[in-house]
Structure 1
Amino acid sequence: MSTPLSGTSAAPAHIPTATFELGSYQAAVDAQLQAFGTQNFTERFWQKDATLWTQDAQAQQSIRSFMGWLRVAEDLQQAVPDLEQFVAEVKAAGFSHVVVMGMGGSTMAPIVFRESAEQGPNGLNMLVLDTTDPGTIQEIEQAVPLAHTLFIVASKSGTTAEPLAFGDYFYARLKEIKGERAGENFIGITDPGTPFVATAEKLGYRRVFLNFPEVGGRFSALTYFGLVPAALYGLDVREILTRALHMMRACGANGPAENNPGEALGVALGVLAQAGHDKLTLLVPPSLSSLGLWMEQLVAESTGKEGLGILPIADEPLASADYGLDRVFVYVGYKGQSDAANEQLIKQLREKGHPIITILMNDVLDLGQEFFRWEVATAVASAVFGINPFDQPNVQAAKTATDKLMKAVEEHGELPQQPATLAENGLTFYASHAGAAGSAAELVKDFFGQAQAGDYLSVQAYLTETPTVTGAIQQIRAAVLNSRHIATTAGYGPRFLHSTGQYHKGGPNTGLFLQLTADNPNDLPLPGRSYTFGTLKNAQAQGDLEALHHNGRRTLRVHLGADAAQGLQTLLALVPTR
């Protein structure tokens, strides 16, 4: 049963509070909730009735086969003793560190747990590797005692190129140290029957956790992909799951529920997006800054297709000018915790009439509840749109282009070179809309001059992630936000290919894509391959650019040269500030 939404949701006390300030859109949201109630939406949702999303028979079968996430928290509750025993075994074996290696859904939840919660008293020091950037791989290798580090190779399909490459690299390093016992330092997480299962057995992996095939990657936070790392990090996974079950019941798992928190959020987001507020701008305190990474993949990859979608805007600098009218602001924080900067911003947004949704958790273990609330909300918003939330039809395009480029590398020893538009002051530019620009300043000005109301900027950094580089990218975002008044996003490649990459190609054609690349001075060989990590990263960047061009997107690639930080400063001087 669905009831009209107004003000603060009346969910049970143990459910994080949600408040909706939707102004003139309240009536439309209430009408959609009432319509869902008339259609018996909640009961059909839990019965996996695929007609809620599409009338296409093939798509309906796909939807039904990927809704195992609805009750996976119940299944994982039974696995908690085994997880606790495994952590004790690993500790007794002398391990002090764990490195989670994967892409997309296999690493997003671990990143959130690591960045949002303190390491538990019995936990391992945890790092996450989800980039083919050789500089980052070297940093992780130097940061851990290899012999006492447990490496997790996480891949749902068991064929994902990046985690398999990471596993090969570190297995070779451990073999130099431990010989045939190298496998003791590795575990896998994958679906049953994947090729990786046999590989892990052959290499002597300590353990392979077989996940749930009916759960897609971006809906897997409450599966082994999220909870094995959480347990090793020392978090109370039993309590995380218990709270997730509270949210499940509130969302109708055991029958009709008043004030269904997942449905309320999903309907609000869907109706607002249809009304033009399709930029879901996430505001969080510093301790929750990584939540946006997880939300980007879940929401963007699920909804960004068929020219539609909701684009999460995460970690955006605060604007000094008015925001556009394409926003809905969502604040996720903690009850009783002061957050002065966001509180002041929300006050200003409220005065200007922007739609605002506020969710207040009790503590960090409520993340289990929020993961589930947002999973339900994303599926519900997709039903409002009438699209399949569980496929990713445009993701393969970049992978196919990358594979083609890597075959060329194997045949000719190097990547095919793209013709440059111009080179100036150590920067090389590759533009999809070069026009008559005769200088770098004109080229950059013309690129950003294409921005219109409702557009967004996507900064795609195939660079080593450092505070200096991130700071410069944030400066670019701030300059564009305040001069062009459009939403801005930023992601490190190839990580974002497994999250917002679907939205970039399948969502509305409203993006301006600034791709940043640089030399790889400290490249690393990839065991068993004829190429390096740097070459693979470059191919992924070039492949994604080709996929964007194929979909008619507006792009500008800037190669920053040998010093990415210095190159960014040179580029920043060219970005228009008015």
Structure 2
Amino acid sequence: MANQNQPANPAAVVPAATLHLGRYQADIDAKIQEFNAKNFTQGFWNKEASLWVQDAQAQQNLRSFMGWLRVAETMLEAVPEIEQFVQEVKQAGFKHVVVMGMGGSTMAPIVFKSSFEQTPNGLPMSVLDTTDPGTVRQIEESVPLADTLFIVASKSGTTAEPLAFGDYFYDRVRQLKGDKVGENFVAITDPGSKFVEQATHEGYRRIFLNFAEVGGRFSALSYFGLVPAALYGINIREVLERSVAMMQACGSNGNVEHNPGLELGVALGVLAQQGRDKLTLIVPQSLSDLGLWLEQLIAESTGKEGKGILPVAGEPAGEPALYGHDRVFVYVGYRNQPDAENRQKLERLEQAGHPVITILMNDPLDLGQEFFRWEVATAVASAVLEINPFDQPNVQESKTATDRLMKVVQEQGKLPQTEEPKVQENGVTYYTQVSGGNAAELLTAFFGQAKAGDFLNIQAYLTETPALNESLQQLRAQVQQQHHIATTSGYGPRFLHSTGQYHKGGPDTGLFVQFTVDHPQDLQLPGRSYTFGTFKNAQAQGDLEALQNYNRRTLRVHLGNDAEQGLRTVLAALGAGK
């Protein structure tokens, strides 16, 4: 991998996107001409909300979340402050960093961590973005608690999960360091949030105040993304300088002949309007987590009012016969890495008439400008679809249902049982509206509802392991081969702050399979009457209720106390039902 601290090559600062759009090219060109004729780029940078929506209140709300447009320039001024903080942390003897948050607070750190090699200049980093007790325990046992810096990242300062993570590890570190516990904690939050008061009271080492006008999924180039990146040893100045080059290419300093963000966004918007609404991301292994960030950005921004673009990440590239006519393929990779197998498959997909877009970066330091390109493209695609890209009206529904269920837990000591199982077989329990005499029949009936243009969404409320990842991929492959529909997969509750908006607010084309499991080795939350496992179960149940309120097609599969064995049992039943 390229040395991430080398200066940029000025001649290759902004990688071009290659768009092979086939029969859609004329309509996309016409839309670009239409946008250029009304000076869209200039209006975009002037935050003219009428480019998206016409309601006055919605316009005011929209303008208030466009601070991300110039945040890279602002953050360049903050680089010395961040670098000085990193040196202070190292001199204090810290040996590890744990970033704790949900959604936009953690997606960029995950991508930075997996896309850059660890260097001697940086500290090892873990990211916690799940209430799963097994994962919390894994992190607790894998880091030197007394010498670990914990970053609690929450834009609103009220998000339940990061506050729970912070309380849990604050209690653990206090048992080791007593009154000096606060030295191990850092907050990243918005000015005026309640969390500022708590972090101050608890003696946090540092509180980074982000920007209220930068929404979570547009915050990669703010303190949320850059403080963890700098601690990990990444040259954030170079990341930002390249990001500013992309800003300028997208018209930040005045009119440009070719705006890469506009051209990509118009293409995605027009393709979605014409039924190509499954944005299928193909990447080399070194960029495997980029899909997590893109999933939230695109799904949460566009998935509303029955419209939207569904990002499909983690599906291995297949042959053209596997796919319906609802796909657009995007390849993001590196100029100097051949990745021959993926590129050959993409050529065949293009020859078969599928739209294919290719973006080749120079090295991982280009990630910042790709973050910005995609932020602009997502906002532009939303303008094509005539929706507000900066709100998330349906995300709150799962939170509200979870809060209600947690009140029941506090009053009655357990979650209410709301559904009767349809099938119980080999230690696995199935809950759904369709019927079947056994698991194989029930699965056949459930997936038999799939139509052209539908998608499968797997919601795994499980402790992530390599074996589970492999089984989930097998499930995706089996469904894709049998029904030729797009497949997506996410670990809960992470996706509630990401693609969950699309699941409820987007088109009614999803088949939702939720996996839950017992928590025999649960963890008690300090100062609360419940455990991480109960909290997670409430999130799963709350989201399922929210989906059912929209009459979505749902199947909950409870795997008992052995998730890996239970999932293998489900795969066998699915195979038997062919």
Under a length normalisation based on structure 2, what TM-score does the superposition of the two structures give? 0.97
Give the match for residue 212 of structure 1. Answer: 211
Letter in 2 for 1:522: Q
Q: Tell me, what secondary structure is at the counterpart of 1:529? A: coil
How many Å separate the matches in 2 of 1:537 and 1:241?
Answer: 36
How many Å separate the matches in 1 of 2:424 and 2:155?
Answer: 42
Is the contact made by 1:317 and 1:477 (CA closer than 8 Å) also made in structure 2? no
Q: Could you list the per-position Cα deviations for residues 359-380 of structure 1 after superposition, in whole angstroms to 9, with x for gaps in the alignment?
A: 0000000000000000000000
Is the contact made by 2:96 and 2:123 (CA closer than 8 Å) also made in structure 1? yes
Q: Sequence identity of aligned pairs in percent?
A: 69
1:244-393 paired onto structure 2 within 5 Å: 244-319=243-318, 321-393=321-393
Is the contact made by 2:282 and 2:317 (CA closer than 8 Å) also made in structure 1? no
How many residue pairs were aligned? 566
How many Å separate the matches in 2 of 1:161 and 1:413?
Answer: 19
Report the alpha carbon displacement of residue 421 of structure 1 after superposing the two structures with TM: 1.9
How many Å separate the matches in 2 of 1:336 and 1:512?
Answer: 39
How many Å separate the matches in 2 of 1:458 and 1:51?
Answer: 34
How many Å separate the matches in 1 of 2:506 and 2:18?
Answer: 28
How many Å separate the matches in 2 of 1:407 and 1:337?
Answer: 53
Letter in 2 for 1:347: E
1:119-268 paired onto structure 2 within 5 Å: 119-268=118-267
Give the match for residue 30 of structure 1. Answer: 29
Query: Which segment drifts farther, 448-457 or 333-342?
Result: 333-342
Is the contact made by 2:522 and 2:531 (CA closer than 8 Å) also made in structure 1? yes
Structure 1: 5+ residue stretches without partners: 1-10
Give the match for residue 113 of structure 1. Answer: 112
Give the match for residue 87 of structure 1. Answer: 86
How many Å separate the matches in 2 of 1:434 and 1:332?
Answer: 40
Is the contact made by 2:187 and 2:204 (CA closer than 8 Å) also made in structure 1? yes
Report the alpha carbon displacement of residue 13 of structure 1 after superposing the two structures with TM: 3.4
Give the match for residue 75 of structure 2. Answer: 76
Give the match for residue 458 of structure 2. Answer: 459
Is the contact made by 1:156 and 1:190 (CA closer than 8 Å) also made in structure 2? yes
Q: Tell me, what secondary structure is at the counterpart of 2:479? A: helix
How many Å separate the matches in 2 of 1:322 and 1:201?
Answer: 55
Q: Could you list the per-position Cα deviations for residues 32-72 of structure 1 after superposition, in whole angstroms to 9, with x for gaps in the alignment?
A: 00000111100000000000000001100011000000000
Is the contact made by 1:280 and 1:330 (CA closer than 8 Å) also made in structure 2? yes
Q: Give yes or no for the alignment of 1:426 onto 2:427.
A: yes
Letter in 1 for 2:421: A
Report the alpha carbon displacement of residue 122 of structure 1 after superposing the two structures with TM: 1.4
Q: Tell me, what secondary structure is at the counterpart of 1:325? A: coil
How many Å separate the matches in 1 of 2:493 and 2:201?
Answer: 29
Which ranges of 4 or more aligned residues in structure 1 deviate by more than 6 Å?
none
Structure 2: 5+ residue stretches without partners: 1-9
How many Å separate the matches in 1 of 2:466 and 2:175?
Answer: 33
Q: Tell me, what secondary structure is at the counterpart of 1:463? A: coil
Is the contact made by 1:111 and 1:128 (CA closer than 8 Å) also made in structure 2? yes
Letter in 2 for 1:510: T
Q: Could you list the per-position Cα deviations for residues 297-342 of structure 1 after superposition, in whole angstroms to 9, with x for gaps in the alignment?
A: 0000000000000000001134354311100000000002111221
Give the match for residue 40 of structure 1. Answer: 39
Report the alpha carbon displacement of residue 354 of structure 1 after superposing the two structures with TM: 0.5
Letter in 2 for 1:125: P
Is the contact made by 2:318 and 2:345 (CA closer than 8 Å) also made in structure 1? no
Report the alpha carbon displacement of residue 120 of structure 1 after superposing the two structures with TM: 3.0
Report the alpha carbon displacement of residue 12 of structure 1 after superposing the two structures with TM: 7.0
Give the match for residue 514 of structure 2. Answer: 515
Is the contact made by 1:319 and 1:481 (CA closer than 8 Å) also made in structure 2? no
Report the alpha carbon displacement of residue 438 of structure 1 after superposing the two structures with TM: 1.7
Alpha-carbon RMSD:
1.0
Q: Could you list the per-position Cα deviations for residues 335-359 of structure 1 after superposition, in whole angstroms to 9, with x for gaps in the alignment?
A: 0211122112112102211100000
How many Å separate the matches in 2 of 1:14 and 1:157?
Answer: 34
Letter in 1 for 2:479: V
Give the match for residue 7 of structure 2. Answer: none
How many Å separate the matches in 1 of 2:78 and 2:343?
Answer: 40
How many Å separate the matches in 2 of 1:129 and 1:297?
Answer: 17
Is the contact made by 2:16 and 2:260 (CA closer than 8 Å) also made in structure 1? no
How many Å separate the matches in 2 of 1:281 and 1:467?
Answer: 23
